[in-house]
Chains A and B, each alone.
Chain A
């Protein structure tokens, strides 16, 4: 089967399964989605981030409520960690859905992108970051996707001081010193949490360095994934909003004509399609850069995150406008997409933060 064919099939299955707004976890796990990138010898599908990205896009399209984002990043964290019995076992269990490992990455700016240039050294009291000192982990992160639904938390932490080594620590919810508090947000299609660790003990078998020669690059790669994952969600979401709007303006009549025949409406829809087309290119480029571990993958990731998550808010907002009076009613469901789009825009670095990162390359 060719890759296009495979993707087509995966997409068709996803569209069908995601008709339920909050599909059962066991259903998602039995579809193999959590184990897409897990190697075959660990009971996974041995696929790449391109396939995970496709599922993320479909979840954005359906505004799905499921801990898939957190779990996909959890699996990615495990895959980035140095191999070992405990890690391999977790991956195997994640692939079959027996375990929901969720990544706790912390604040995008302070944890990853600029850590080498950060003004503040990593410390136990730092905001948005976790510090691993000896066998104990401390720190606090807000707005962590899906942490409250995790069976295992994979916390990204650094050794104290400047440029501390990055590690991934496996922590069980309920461990002494750990708190995971649901953090309600306006968008009801996502579950976020505040994760606080106060000297939580991590067994030595459950703390891993990153695999490969360059620990820092591998750690940054994990954050790039999170950034692109959100861009995928926003792309799916804007596609859904465009389709819904086009269908609606074809059937909604005013002044004796379908409103979609009015030029003002047509041109607004055309702009939405242009936006979606442009965003698809940025997401495709970022997904293949991340899947291929390109050295400058962060550039494509920041481009996609900054542009696509902002454009998705515009497109969802335009969808609301073009649906007229029905648009801002509860029944239309458009408000749910608009809220999710704004959350996506703010998660893992704002568009302005990502553009600031891109602009460091100009001279």
Chain B
């Protein structure tokens, strides 16, 4: 992705940008946030997220992946540099705003009216929080089975039904909602996409709490691939560094079996980062294949699962006694058991691994539908 010469994305230009981000991280990533956020309550977590979003926004890096006219405009190569440096400096993740800055924004940019864009994009860049309302108790992988209904009454739609809310819904201002508008249409046809104000009367938000099991926050759309750049860079920096550290502190770095596994993970992460960067560039230039986003999601999620499992095995019993991980950390926090359990938040939601394989086979390879 780098090019010779002296342009912004030349090798020299990117190195300069990297140094700039590095300096900024050293000045702005709060020391000790992990300890403060370990076991933080919901309000404390939300306040911290809002604060960190503001810090990133001041630097101009809250929505770097958006078009320039809406406050983004960072090239893919520079985004990769930004995310890798943030991860290398162990910066908190944007968790609460994730759906807003990625899925809501992508949806608005692709399908929103000018009025909707004007109403929401600046607000999101200002910290408006969104949640995704796709899955239902009886409609998970089979989204077309959803039952939530939206009926037109004059100028408004009245929505009734039940959604499995992603965590963070209690803080959400708006919801990306899928609901059935035509009960008589064929399953896939009668579904509409809504922007729903979460402060509307009648919206009751009950957070799902089921042990460590949260429902992760991604849409099923192809734009999901774009969110992967940050995650791949995090896995390559914070994640792999934690893994090497876990091996070192277990005195296992000299163990040839451990060294072999580490080298295999490092190799796979290198491939994932390149694959993700290619997907994002391909999305920008319209050259991405129909199954490319599924390939990246599947590979990332299963690599994350294998890697956190390995970290857990190397760490032995002490990992069983780490009861919390810092809120605002990623899926590679170094609390290996919690990270490992959390990795199913990637292999199930947003189209399970099984669904991804079917998509890859049918759309990517053109195999006949089963």
Residues of A at the B interface (CB closer than 8 Å) are: 246, 249-250, 257-258, 260-263, 265-267, 269-271, 273-274, 277-279, 281-282, 284-285, 300, 303, 306-307, 352, 354-356, 358-359, 362-363
The residue from A265, A270, A274, A356 contacting B259, defined by CB atoms under 8 A apart: A356
**Interchain CA distance A267-B359 in the complex, whole Å:** 9
Q: Which residue of A lies closest to B256 (CB)?
A: A356
Contact of A270 among B266, B274, B365 (CB under 8 A): B365
Q: Known interface pairs A246-B367, A250-B368. Does A269 touch B267 (Cβ–Cβ under 8 Å)?
A: no
Contact (Cβ within 8 A) A250 B367: yes
Q: Fill in one digit per residue for B335-370: 1 if any A CB lies within 8 Å of its CB, else 0.
A: 000000000000000000010111011101111111
Our count of residue pairs bridging A and B at CB distance below 8 angstroms stands at: 114
A-B interface, 4 closest residue pairs, ranked by CB to CB distance from nearest: A266-B361, A355-B263, A359-B259, A270-B360
Asked whether A303 lies within 8 Å of B256 as measured between CB atoms, the reply is no
User: Are B361's CB and A303's CB within 8 A?
Assistant: no
How does the 8 Å CB contact mask read for B258-299 relative to A, with 1 for contact and 0 for none?
Answer: 011011101110111011001000000000000110010011
* Contact partners of A362 in chain B: CB under 8 A: 244, 247-248, 253, 259, 262
Task: Give Cα A358 to B266, complex, Å.
Answer: 9
Q: How far is the CB of B141 from chain A (nearest CB, A)?
A: 13
B263 A246 Cβ-Cβ under 8 A: no
Among A257, A261, A282, the residue within 8 A (CB) of B271 is A282
Bound Cα distance from A359 to B292, whole angstroms:
30
B87-102 vs A: 1/0 string, CB under 8 Å? Answer: 0000000000000000
Instruction: Return A329 CB to nearest CB of chain B, in Å.
Output: 23
Interface contact A284-B274, CB-CB below 8 Å: yes
- State the interface size on chain B (CB cutoff 8 A): 38
Inside 8 A of B253's CB, which chain A residues have their CB? Answer: 362-363
Give Cα A273 to B357, complex, Å.
10
Least CB separation from B259: chain A residue? A359
**Known pairs A249-B367, A260-B361. 5 more at Cβ < 8 A?**
A261-B367, A267-B358, A273-B295, A281-B275, A359-B259
Give min CB distance, B319 to chain A, whole Å.
Answer: 20
Task: Report the nearest A residue to B362, measured CB to CB.
Answer: A266
Q: Which B residues are closer than 8 A to A by beta carbons?
A: 244, 247-248, 253, 256, 259-260, 262-264, 266-268, 270-272, 274-275, 278, 291-292, 295, 298-299, 354, 356-358, 360-362, 364-370
Interfacial chain B residues near A358, Cβ < 8 Å: 263, 266-267
Q: How far is the CA of A182 from the CA of B45 in the complex (A)?
A: 70
Query: Please, how many angstroms separate the alpha-carbon atoms of A140 and B58 in the complex?
Result: 66
Q: Taking A246-B366, A250-B367 as contacts, is the C-beta distance between A266 and B358 under 8 angstroms? A: yes
A282 engages B267 (CB within 8 Å): yes
B interface, over-half SS: helix
Give Cα distance in the complex from A265 to B247, angstroms: 38
Residues of chain A lying within 8 A (CB to CB) of residue B368: 250, 257-258, 260-261
Q: Which residues on the B side are within 8 Å of A303 (C-beta)?
A: 266-267, 270-271
Given contacts A266-B370, A269-B367, A356-B259, contact A307 B267 (CB under 8 A): yes
Residues of B within 8 A of A300 (CB): 270
Chain A residues with CB under 8 Å of B370's CB are 261-263, 266
Nearest-neighbor residue (CB-CB) of B275 within chain A: A281
Q: Which residues on the B side are within 8 Å of A307 (C-beta)?
A: 264, 267-268, 271
| B-side contacts of A273, CB under 8 Å | 291, 295, 360-361, 364-365
Q: Of A267, A278, A352, A358, which is in contact with the most chain B CB atoms at under 10 Å from its CB?
A: A278
Q: How far is the CA of A286 from the CA of B346 in the complex (A)?
A: 30
Residue from B253, B271, B275, B298 having most chain A Cβ neighbours under 10 A: B271
Residue of A nearest to B260 (CB): A355
Q: How far in angstroms is the closest Cβ of chain B from A227?
A: 13
A7 to B278, CA, bound (A): 18
Which residues of chain A are near B248, meaning CB under 8 Å?
362-363
* Least CB distance, A308 to chain B, in whole angstroms: 9
Which residues of chain B have C-beta atoms less than 8 A from A355's C-beta? 259-260, 263-264, 267
B293 to chain A, nearest CB (A): 12
- In chain B, what residue has the closest Cβ to A354? B263
In the complex, what's the smallest C-beta–C-beta distance from B241 to chain A, in angstroms?
10
Q: A246 contacts which chain B residues (CB < 8 A)?
A: 365-367
A311 to chain B, nearest CB (A): 10
Q: Which residue of A lies closest to B353 (CB)?
A: A267
In the bound complex, CA of A265 to CA of B362 (Å): 11
Could you say which residues of chain B place their CB within 8 Å of the CB of A262?
370
- For A246, the closest partner residue in chain B by CB is B365
Which of the residues A266, A278, A282 comes within 8 Å of B357, measured between beta carbons? A266
Q: Which single residue of chain A is at the shortest CB-CB distance from B278?
A: A281
Query: Which of A261, A284, A354 interacts with B369 by CB under 8 Å?
Result: A261
* Distance in Å: Cβ of A331 to nearest Cβ of chain B: 24
